[in-house]
Amino acid sequence: MKTLIEVEIFGQTFTVTSEDEEKYVRALASYVEQHMRQVGESTKATLPLRVAIMAALGIADEYHKAVRRETEIKQEAEQLSTVLLARLEQSERLDESMASERAVNIFSSESAPSPVDGEKKKETLSPS
């Protein structure tokens, strides 16, 4: 539900219509106020409109840098995910290969006669 919220920025009162919480809207107004104060103190701009435009440019710059950084982080996360997935698949293939080798080794050792068994058979088969 939209509500009317009164905020003060750079000495002027504004009524804002918003669906957001009042606390959030006030935080935004405070953020703009802070930027306008910084611009007003660091430049020779005295006209509120000029200060507002300079502050808006600074805020827009922050926003675009944040969006660019977010995009870079997403791309980096995708690359890392791809590498991790490839390594997991490689590890699974290695585990499967090792399990197959163990199964073959177990099967081979069970079906092959041991040397002791072979000697006993020779003894029983040899004529006395």
What pLDDT was estimated at residue 102?
A: 80
Domain membership flag for residue 8: yes
* Residues spanned by the domain of 86: 3-110
Domain membership flag for residue 87: yes
Give how many domains the chain has, as a whole number: 1
Domain membership flag for residue 91: yes
pTM: 0.65
Mind listing the pLDDT tens digit for each residue in 57-74?
999 999 999 999 999 999
In this structure, what are the phi and psi dihedrals at residue 16, rounded to the nearest 5 degrees? -110, 135
Domain membership flag for residue 116: no
Domain membership flag for residue 121: no
What pLDDT was estimated at residue 103?
A: 75
